[in-house]
Every structure is written in C-alpha cells, then in structure tokens.
Copies of this chain bind each other. A is one copy, B any other.
C-alpha cells in the first residue's frame, strides 16, 4: 500500500493509485455483499443481553407499584417510580420528569407540534400563525431532528460544531432575531461527532438571552449514560443550569432507554420546569390518558436505579467498545496516512463522524452503496440534507457483528480512497 498522502502525489502516482484501488473496489463489489452501518441500531447481542427484562413481571401483585396498578388507565405523567429513576439519571427532581412511550423522538415532535398548534408557555400566539419560524441547527447533527424542523416548515440555520459544542459566538448573535425560536442540541456524545459540550458552552447556552420569549432549547440527552469506553462521565443538569440564569422555562430535556434496553420498546422521557410541566400536562391531557405504565414498571424493576443503569451500560460497552475500535483501527490504518479525511475519536455515543476532504462524501457514499454497504446518506447530517462542503459522513458501528464490520470498513476505506483519488485527478464533479 502506498502511504504517501494523496495531496502530495504526482499525477502519475495518483493514476497508479487509482488503478490499484479501482481493482480492489471491483473485487469487493463482485462479492455481492449486503452490509449496513446506516443507523444507530443496537446489535442482536445487545438485545439478547437485556431480554431478561421480560422476566420481571410475573404475578398479579407485580403490577402494583406505589399503590398504582400499572395495567389500568391513569397517571398521565408516568409511574412515580419511573419518574424517580430518570430524575436520578438526569440529575433532576422526579416532579420535573414526564415518562412517555417508547420513543423520545415522538416527545420531541409533540413538543414542537404543540408550539405550532397551541403555542408554548411564553408564546404570544401559536407558531402556526407566524409568518416564519427560524431554528438553529448545530451541524453536523442528527438527521431526524432536522426532519422534524423541515416537516414543520422551519427555516433551518446551520451553526457549525466546534470540539466544544455549537459555535456560541454565532448562536449568541443569531438569537437576537425574534424569529429564531429554538435550537437542537445533543450535548453529550453529540450525534454524529461524539463530542461533549464544554462547561463554557453549557454556561453560555444556559445563560442565553434570546429575543423570542418562547425560545425552545431542545436538549436531546440521548447518550447521557452511553460511554462505550472508560468510566461514566457526569454531566451537569441543564434544568438547574438554565434556572440559574433565569431561563428555567427555556429548556426541554429528552432521554430514553432506546440504547439501554430495547430501541423499539423502551421508555422515553422529557424533563422541564414545573411551570412548563403544568402547561404541557394540560395540553397532553387532551391527547392521551396515559402512556404504557406496564413497560415503565418493567424498566423500573429491571434497571432499579442509576447504579443499575450504569452497570448495564458497562455490559453494553463490552459489546460496543470493540466495534468502535474496529472502525477507528481501520480508519487509522487505511486512511490516516493518506491525508484525505479526519475524524473524532469518541468514547461514548453511537457514531464515528468522518470529515473527508471537501467534495467527496457523496461520491464515497455512492461507491459504498454500489458495493453493498449502506451508510447514512452523505449530507444527512446537515439541514435539508445538504452538506455545503460535501465532507461529513456518519458511521454507525453498532448493528453489524464484528466480522461484518471488518468487511464493511474494508469497503468504506476503499470507497473513500477511490473517491479521493478520482477527486484529486479532477475526475469527479464538485
């Protein structure tokens, strides 16, 4: 293998490299593989590991908790024991926690939907009656966040991510516009970069003074206990941080057990100020009698408390750690010497974020696809699916078994090299 960085190769060297890599690519393509690193889905080994959660509810009396029969209607805001469990995990009080169904995405969507149909606590009118709603989207970010914004017709404004979190100089400037109504954040092990917001970023976010009185900080703490390497890293409670600066009602925090127990059948929560809770409960009372408290109770009995959750996350780390290592090793070995991409080295979350040389992410994605490897579509980590530099790619190592992952990374690295060399040769359109 030629270890010379592509940018320093002569045209002849690049031509030779291209021939070599193209042959390797065709060979892989001929294997007719079908591999997937597109989504942050836990693998079967993880699912099997937690399936004993089904054993905790046995006899009729098991369904009663704090005097509440979890099987019947009632308790809109969730089982008290489930609220307590999440309060401990998030570092807040049980009365600030609302436990929902199996999907935190739905709670996020519904919060924004209610801003549109009814307005938030401090809204002058429902957002549906506004000419325009602008929204801050730190990017690269989570495509499903951007899809919610797009579905509601928001004007999304890209805010570059830094190693410490969103570019706060820019954020502080943008929120002076009263049409800017909110911001997406994944503060711990951000999707996809895997970075953790710094204390300074956190302070600047919590102390923002947006022009909009109903500015909505969407704090998706999806990976709050999701270290796959090293020890659990405590993280400040955003609710009390915001309160400290007179912004108690600005933030809704979200979390779930999607990557603790089952992705499709776990628990989701939002946490917010008491004033927001009272306001939202009044609206939610028209929408649902109560979420699935049997599943809430099942989780309480299985996870027990924060210590129980952290112990379980160590077991997940035992499965996930080697998968991330496999991805990072392949990048280090195959790509690092070539000067064609850079990437974060996260210790938590569900993704590796690769930034290729500008202009080749989509070509790489396409080459992978044609060789049987599905990746998150290039561009998806940016608003409207458009990465202005055509550079960011999200790799999700969790689903494939490790032997498939090695093959997938082989395809990925070869595709990236091929796209890069052809780009350097001026063979692809920017």
Instruction: Report the minimal beta-carbon distance from A129 to chain B, rounded to whole angstroms.
Output: 7
Known interface pairs A47-B72, A264-B70, A265-B70. Does A148 touch B286 (Cβ–Cβ under 8 Å)?
yes
Known interface pairs A109-B287, A151-B283, A292-B295. Does A71 touch B128 (Cβ–Cβ under 8 Å)?
no
- Chain B residue at smallest Cβ distance from A129: B128
- B residues in contact with A295, CB < 8 Å: 265, 292, 295
- B residues in contact with A118, CB < 8 Å: 151
* Complex: A39 Cα to B147 Cα, angstroms: 38
- B residues in contact with A144, CB < 8 Å: 286, 289
- B residues in contact with A290, CB < 8 Å: 103, 264
CB of B128 within 8 A of CB of A294, answer no
* Complex: A51 Cα to B297 Cα, angstroms: 14
- B residues in contact with A403, CB < 8 Å: none
Known interface pairs A47-B63, A117-B117, A151-B118. Does A41 touch B72 (Cβ–Cβ under 8 Å)?
yes
- B residues in contact with A150, CB < 8 Å: 286
Instruction: Report the minimal beta-carbon distance from A68 to chain B, rounded to whole angstroms.
Output: 10
- B residues in contact with A117, CB < 8 Å: 113, 116-117, 128, 152
CB of A292 within 8 A of CB of B289, answer no
* Complex: A266 Cα to B197 Cα, angstroms: 39
Is residue A58 contacting chain B, with contact meaning CB distance below 8 A?
yes
Is residue A106 contacting chain B, with contact meaning CB distance below 8 A?
yes
Is residue A262 contacting chain B, with contact meaning CB distance below 8 A?
yes
CB of A262 within 8 A of CB of B294, answer yes
- B residues in contact with A294, CB < 8 Å: 262, 264-265
- B residues in contact with A72, CB < 8 Å: 41-42, 47, 262-264
CB of B293 within 8 A of CB of A264, answer yes
- B residues in contact with A151, CB < 8 Å: 118, 283, 286-287
- B residues in contact with A51, CB < 8 Å: 60, 63, 71
Is residue A132 contacting chain B, with contact meaning CB distance below 8 A?
no
**Cβ contacts A99-113/B at 8 Å (1 or 0 each):** 001110110011001
* Complex: A321 Cα to B130 Cα, angstroms: 53
Is residue A280 contacting chain B, with contact meaning CB distance below 8 A?
no
CB of A71 within 8 A of CB of B47, answer yes
Is residue A44 contacting chain B, with contact meaning CB distance below 8 A?
yes
* Complex: A58 Cα to B60 Cα, angstroms: 18
- B residues in contact with A189, CB < 8 Å: none
Instruction: Report the minimal beta-carbon distance from A254 to chain B, rounded to whole angstroms.
Output: 13
CB of B288 within 8 A of CB of A109, answer yes
Known interface pairs A116-B128, A291-B103, A292-B101. Does A71 touch B286 (Cβ–Cβ under 8 Å)?
no
**Cβ contacts A132-157/B at 8 Å (1 or 0 each):** 00000000000010011011100000
* Complex: A113 Cα to B114 Cα, angstroms: 9
- B residues in contact with A63, CB < 8 Å: 47, 51
- B residues in contact with A41, CB < 8 Å: 72-73
CB of B71 within 8 A of CB of A288, answer no
CB of A102 within 8 A of CB of B291, answer yes
- B residues in contact with A101, CB < 8 Å: 101-102, 291-292
- B residues in contact with A322, CB < 8 Å: none
Considering only residues 52-83 of chain A, those with a C-beta below 8 Å from chain B are: 54, 57-58, 60, 63, 69-74
Is residue A48 contacting chain B, with contact meaning CB distance below 8 A?
yes
* Complex: A63 Cα to B57 Cα, angstroms: 17
CB of B69 within 8 A of CB of A44, answer yes
- Chain B residue at smallest Cβ distance from A43: B72
A-B contact pairs, 25 of them (CB 8 A): A41-B72, A44-B69, A51-B63, A54-B58, A101-B101, A102-B292, A103-B290, A105-B287, A105-B288, A106-B287, A109-B288, A117-B128, A117-B152, A118-B151, A126-B128, A128-B128, A151-B283, A151-B286, A151-B287, A262-B294, A263-B289, A264-B292, A264-B293, A264-B294, A265-B292
